[in-house]
Amino acid sequence: MTFEIKISKKPVEYTKAIKLLEKKVDRISLNLEKNEFIWLLEHKETYTGGVNYNKDEIIDKTINVIQTNRGGKITYHGPGQLIFYFVINLKKRSKDIRGFISSIENIIIETLKEFNIEAFSDRNNVGIWIGKKNNARKIGAIGIKIKRWIAYHGFSINLKTNLKNYEKIIPCGIKNKKIENLKFSKKSNHHAFKNRLINNFIKKFGT
């Protein structure tokens, strides 16, 4: 399969990004577009709630939470956080949603390993974690929506975001777990990491 790749340099408003993704979903579903889609970007400061979130997970009642149709609970997006969106046609692949999410987790974990960062997934808490399992810190969140077997939304990775903004919510509905930024040995690795993620994603899903 061939991918259209879009990389935005300026922060993108969340609702505008989702509208574009949904347009891609509809066009691919109707066979109006053959190329699948990858989009790397940052969002302006935004809180979003997935289909499973509840208002008890909002600590600071003054914040505005955008209700979304993705899976998962409440999370924060903002500058310094890498957003990796995609539109993938599962009708051309195995219709195994859990397996698809596991593949995404593995892509992130294997890419981090290339930069000597050990990470792992958690069967009970979808996402990517670093550190020891009894003191794990979350660096990546995943939220997927399936529409007519087209998978979209994606995942986020904290690179250098303001972690204090997570204190206003219970991130992903998980209490007593810390959120962390990735710490690369070299500043230039941020850019290299993004390129490797794209390459590894296409390597997995482009065949």
Q: What domain count does the chain have?
A: 1
3-state class (DSSP) for residue 91: helix
List helix spans (H) across the chain.
14-29, 97-113, 189-205
Quickly tell me which residue has 């974690």 as its tokens: 129
Torsion sign across C-alpha atoms 136, 139, 144, 150: negative
Q: Residues 40, 88, 172, 197: which is the catalytic one?
A: 172
Q: What is the CATH number of the domain that holds 181?
A: 3.30.930.10
Alpha-carbon separation of residue 94 from 72, 194, 205 (angstroms): 22, 26, 11
Q: Is 172 a catalytic residue?
A: yes
Of 19, 25, 4, 40, residue with least CA distance to 151: 25
In tens, the pLDDT along 17-65 reads 999 999 999 999 998 999 999 999 999 999 999 988 888 999 999 999 9
Per-residue pLDDT in tens (0 to 9) along the chain, 207 residues = 699 999 999 999 999 999 999 999 999 999 899 999 999 999 999 999 998 888 899 999 999 999 999 988 999 999 999 999 999 999 988 889 999 999 999 999 999 999 999 999 988 777 899 988 778 899 999 999 999 999 999 999 999 999 999 999 998 888 878 899 998 767 668 889 999 999 999 999 986
Of 166, 179, 181, residue with least CA distance to 57: 166
- Quote the domain boundaries for residue 181: 3-205
Q: How far apart are CA 65 and CA 146, in angstroms?
A: 22
Of 72, 89, 109, 97, residue with least CA distance to 2: 89
pTM of the model: 0.94
